Chains A and B, each alone.
Chain A
Amino acid sequence: MKRYFLAAATAVGVMSGSVALAKPVKIGMLITLSGPPAVLGKQLRDGFQLAMEKLGGKLGDKTTELIIEDDELKPDVAISKAKSLVGRDKVDFVVGTVFSNMLAAVFKPIIKSNTFLISPNAGPSVFAGKNCNPLLFVTSFQNDQNFEVLGKHAEQQGFKSVFLLAPNYQAGKDAVNGFKRQFSGKIVDTVFTKLGQKDYSAEIAKLAAAKPDALFTFMPGGMGVRFVKQFRAAGLADKMTFLSAFTVDEATLPAQKDAALGFFGGASWAPNMKTPGNAEFVAAFEGKYGYVPSVYAMQGYDTAMLLDSVIRKVGDNLSDKKAVRNALRAADFKSLRGNFKFNTNQFPVQDYYLMKVAKRADGKFQTEIDRKIFSAAGDFYAKDCKMSW
């Protein structure tokens, strides 16, 4: 009798224990949160957390543990954090990274551990073509596409001559190549500057002397703040059209302010976009964090919503990689961008727009959609990806 009681008690104990121990979904977020570029990582994180909050702190209606790690924009740090996310924490998904060179660093350790890697921003060409991978999904864009928007626009406007200016590293060269892929007019000069350069007076003097119809530049973060201000102070804004990518956006506009007014960029989304749920998102974001969301915040939000749809579909079978992959590929969520689906290389197929910097009634600055440039566009490299769906 006593023995039966014990057995029953043990059984109850085990059962209740199993309820309490119901495995939460674990998401590892690996983004850049230190140094000046941290502002981009912050936007991504805030967007992602806003989505989770809207879903009641859960993804797919399951208890979710979000582990946020800072890669410090250093490849060695990124690799060791990635290893501990997949090795020690055994996360179900890694969401990262902000920068393309960080993605290249963490790609191998994460993919080797058979964990899904979802990039909410970085979309380097290396993983879009023949090195595409069934475990890698990119929810943002393929890097070249934003540059191609400006090239196409310059082509359509019939600009006769364009001056190209970019920092001397891989993404800067991608910017120049992406632009040239769409633009057939004359390139008066291509100038590469030091990454992180402070003073652009030498380049601006050259630009003024060259007198092109338009300038195309790629100056992310603080470089964009400095360059835009110096460009405006040199009085060039009235003399040529300013075309750019990742140079004038909500991450840099609080510092650029009036200096960037009327300048053009290219992206897949803007705060004033008229898509279902977008106005609510922007209002909720500004209410909670006190600044205007950028495309990075939107990407963080969309990534959380994508994962929500996946977990909802797959339920407890997160270890069934095939089921998870199919659920990811379905992209069964409402993107703030409107049209969104995955290409065969698991990079987005979406619309791209020309953006123009505008001042809002409340005195804050944001990018606004000028016109659509590409509809449902996949990237240039997808054709080399031999993945079967």
Chain B
Amino acid sequence: MSTTLFLVQVLNGLQLGVLLFLIAAGLTLVFGVMGFINLAHGVQYMVGAYFAVAFYALTQNFLLTVILASASALLLGLLFEVLIFRHLYDRDHLDHVLATFGIILFLNQATTVLWGPEPLVIPEPDFLSGSIPLVEGLLYPVYRLAIIAVGLAVAGLLWFMVTRTKLGMLVRAGATNLEMVSALGVNIRRLFMLVFGFGAMLAGFAGVLSAPIFSVEPGMGDDILIVAFVVIIVGGIGSIRGAFIAALVIGLVDTLGRSMMTDILKLFMDASAANQIGPALASMLIYVLMAAILFFKPTGLFAPGKTA
């Protein structure tokens, strides 16, 4: 593999990583601060993408679509919080899993009924379409570069909010010791609602961003949810910094694994065997990584110290 190809694959890995981060950020906060297992986080990503399809059909304007779809994802997240999730916080994890799994089934079916089972897409905005030559002979789509930039910007913004604002301080404090924060007179319910809605919006935003490059279809959030859980486990539950670093690591490991594993195996076994084993091994890599990290650091890389 040449250096230029390697660089392109690193960019691909980064792009997957920032998308994963947008999804995992909300998941890790909800899980870490509220102790709530939200399996429906993946369908919020899907719903974001479907909102994008709907609003693009209405407005034909990509930027407006991003804003409207993200706002709708936020509203839907808040609606779910008020109607369903807040009644479950005091119950045990199995109830969380059951209720949120029910939401997955409901929303997957609802999108099928509303939009049909066929894959949908929206076009990339004109000013971000096409590709540019990064190095001699290798083109890279502008839109993917834009995703990397936007993802990094959101990460920066989140970092600022979590470390430099009062709300962020409360969130960090909540992840460490919830009872104490509550005892100090903070309205925990409202904090939960904010965290939840914000997480849902980020997932929806990731769905909107990915709509032009992936196909929008029922069940599209289910696979990505599993990877998002891997990210928050590796990064440490409740840690935004952990989620960011873990998302980039997972994105890079997955992408580089897929592109290099078969070639590496070909060095010491014959081509057909490598073609058999390579793809299987590559798709396992991130789980192997997670298992290794759990073995050496069971709370993940950057888990906030729990004192409760």
Q: List, in ascending order, chain B residues with CB within 8 A of A198's CB.
A: 210, 214, 220, 223-224
Interface-central residue, B141, B210, B256, by most chain A CB under 10 Å? B141
Residue pair A194, B279 in contact (C-beta under 8 Å): yes
Stretch at the interface among B31-39, B111-119, B170-178, B292-300: B111-119
Stretch at the interface among A7-15, A219-227, A373-381: A219-227
Which chain B residue has the least Cβ–Cβ distance from A204?
A: B12
Which chain B residue has the least Cβ–Cβ distance from A33?
A: B117
B143 is an interface residue with CB less than 8 A from chain A: yes
Interface string of A204-236 (1 = CB under 8 A from B): 011011000000000001100110011001111
Cβ-defined partner of B214 (8 Å) among A168, A192, A199, A257: A199
Tell me, rounded to whole Å, the shortest Cβ–Cβ distance linking A26 to chain B.
27
Within 8 A of A (CB), among B107-135: 112, 116-121, 124, 129-131
Interface string of B125-154 (1 = CB under 8 A from A): 000011100000111110110000000000
Residue pair A222, B15 in contact (C-beta under 8 Å): no
Residue pair B141, A234 in contact (C-beta under 8 Å): yes
Residue pair A196, B223 in contact (C-beta under 8 Å): yes
Which chain B residue has the least Cβ–Cβ distance from A36?
A: B217
A42 is an interface residue with CB less than 8 A from chain B: yes
**Chain A: number of interface residues, binned into ranges:** 35 or more
| A255-B12 in contact given A221-B119, A233-B143 (Cβ < 8 Å) | no
Residue pair A36, B219 in contact (C-beta under 8 Å): yes
Stretch at the interface among B1-9, B62-70, B158-166, B238-246: B1-9
Tell me, rounded to whole Å, the shortest Cβ–Cβ distance linking B166 to chain A.
38
A254 is an interface residue with CB less than 8 A from chain B: yes
Q: List, in ascending order, chain A residues with CB within 8 A of B186's CB.
A: none
Residue pair A226, B214 in contact (C-beta under 8 Å): yes
Q: List, in ascending order, chain A residues with CB within 8 A of B112's CB.
A: 34, 38
Interface-central residue, A42, A190, A208, A222, by most chain B CB under 10 Å? A222
Residue pair A168, B218 in contact (C-beta under 8 Å): no
A251 is an interface residue with CB less than 8 A from chain B: yes
Q: List, in ascending order, chain A residues with CB within 8 A of B218's CB.
A: 35-36
Q: List, in ascending order, chain A residues with CB within 8 A of B256's CB.
A: 202
Cβ-defined partner of A38 (8 Å) among B117, B121, B262, B279: B117
Cβ-defined partner of B139 (8 Å) among A36, A235, A254, A255: A235
Cβ-defined partner of B255 (8 Å) among A201, A225, A234: A201
Within 8 A of B (CB), among A140-185: 168
**Chain B: number of interface residues, binned into ranges:** 35 or more
A193 is an interface residue with CB less than 8 A from chain B: yes
| A255-B120 in contact given A35-B219, A201-B15 (Cβ < 8 Å) | yes
* A168–B278 alpha-carbon span in the complex (Å): 10
Q: List, in ascending order, chain A residues with CB within 8 A of B280's CB.
A: 168
* A164–B274 alpha-carbon span in the complex (Å): 15
Q: List, in ascending order, chain A residues with CB within 8 A of B215's CB.
A: 222, 225-226, 229, 255
Q: List, in ascending order, chain A residues with CB within 8 A of B278's CB.
A: 192
A351 is an interface residue with CB less than 8 A from chain B: no
| A205-B214 in contact given A190-B275, A199-B16, A255-B118 (Cβ < 8 Å) | no
Residue pair A193, B139 in contact (C-beta under 8 Å): no
| A229-B213 in contact given A168-B280, A205-B138 (Cβ < 8 Å) | yes
Tell me, rounded to whole Å, the shortest Cβ–Cβ distance linking A37 to chain B.
8
Within 8 A of B (CB), among A235-272: 235-236, 251-252, 254-257
Tell me, rounded to whole Å, the shortest Cβ–Cβ distance linking A72 to chain B.
12
A314 is an interface residue with CB less than 8 A from chain B: no
A191 is an interface residue with CB less than 8 A from chain B: yes
Q: List, in ascending order, chain A residues with CB within 8 A of B143's CB.
A: 233
Q: List, in ascending order, chain B residues with CB within 8 A of A225's CB.
A: 119, 121, 215
Residue pair A202, B141 in contact (C-beta under 8 Å): no
A105 is an interface residue with CB less than 8 A from chain B: no
Residue pair A202, B259 in contact (C-beta under 8 Å): yes
Residue pair A39, B117 in contact (C-beta under 8 Å): yes
* A221–B220 alpha-carbon span in the complex (Å): 13
Residue pair B259, A203 in contact (C-beta under 8 Å): yes
Interface string of B1-31 (1 = CB under 8 A from A): 0101100110010011000000000000000
Residue pair A39, B279 in contact (C-beta under 8 Å): no
Q: List, in ascending order, chain B residues with CB within 8 A of A256's CB.
A: 121
Residue pair B139, A234 in contact (C-beta under 8 Å): yes
Cβ-defined partner of B283 (8 Å) among A190, A194, A226: A194
| A226-B2 in contact given A34-B112, A252-B119 (Cβ < 8 Å) | no
Tell me, rounded to whole Å, the shortest Cβ–Cβ distance linking B129 to chain A.
7
Cβ-defined partner of A192 (8 Å) among B8, B9, B121, B279: B279
Residue pair B217, A209 in contact (C-beta under 8 Å): no
Residue pair B283, A206 in contact (C-beta under 8 Å): no
* A203–B260 alpha-carbon span in the complex (Å): 10
Which chain B residue has the least Cβ–Cβ distance from A198?
A: B214
* A226–B217 alpha-carbon span in the complex (Å): 11
Residue pair B129, A233 in contact (C-beta under 8 Å): yes
Residue pair A39, B118 in contact (C-beta under 8 Å): yes
Tell me, rounded to whole Å, the shortest Cβ–Cβ distance linking A6 to chain B.
56
Tell me, rounded to whole Å, the shortest Cβ–Cβ distance linking A386 to chain B.
30
Residue pair B130, A235 in contact (C-beta under 8 Å): yes
A-B residue pairs in contact (CB < 8 Å), sample of 30? A35-B219, A36-B118, A38-B117, A39-B117, A42-B117, A168-B279, A168-B280, A191-B279, A192-B278, A193-B279, A194-B258, A198-B210, A199-B16, A201-B16, A201-B255, A203-B259, A205-B138, A208-B137, A209-B5, A209-B138, A221-B119, A225-B119, A225-B121, A226-B213, A226-B214, A230-B213, A233-B141, A234-B139, A234-B141, A235-B131
Given contacts A208-B137, A209-B2, A209-B5, 20 further A-B contacts (CB under 8 A): A36-B118, A36-B218, A36-B219, A42-B117, A168-B280, A190-B275, A192-B278, A192-B279, A193-B279, A194-B283, A199-B214, A201-B144, A208-B139, A209-B138, A230-B141, A233-B143, A234-B140, A234-B141, A236-B139, A256-B121
> Using a CB–CB distance below 8 Å, which chain A residues touch chain B?
34-39, 42, 168, 190-194, 196, 198-199, 201-203, 205-206, 208-209, 221-222, 225-226, 229-230, 233-236, 251-252, 254-257
> Using a CB–CB distance below 8 Å, which chain B residues touch chain A?
2, 4-5, 8-9, 12, 15-16, 112, 116-121, 124, 129-131, 137-141, 143-144, 210, 212-215, 217-220, 223-224, 255-256, 258-259, 262, 271, 275, 278-280, 283
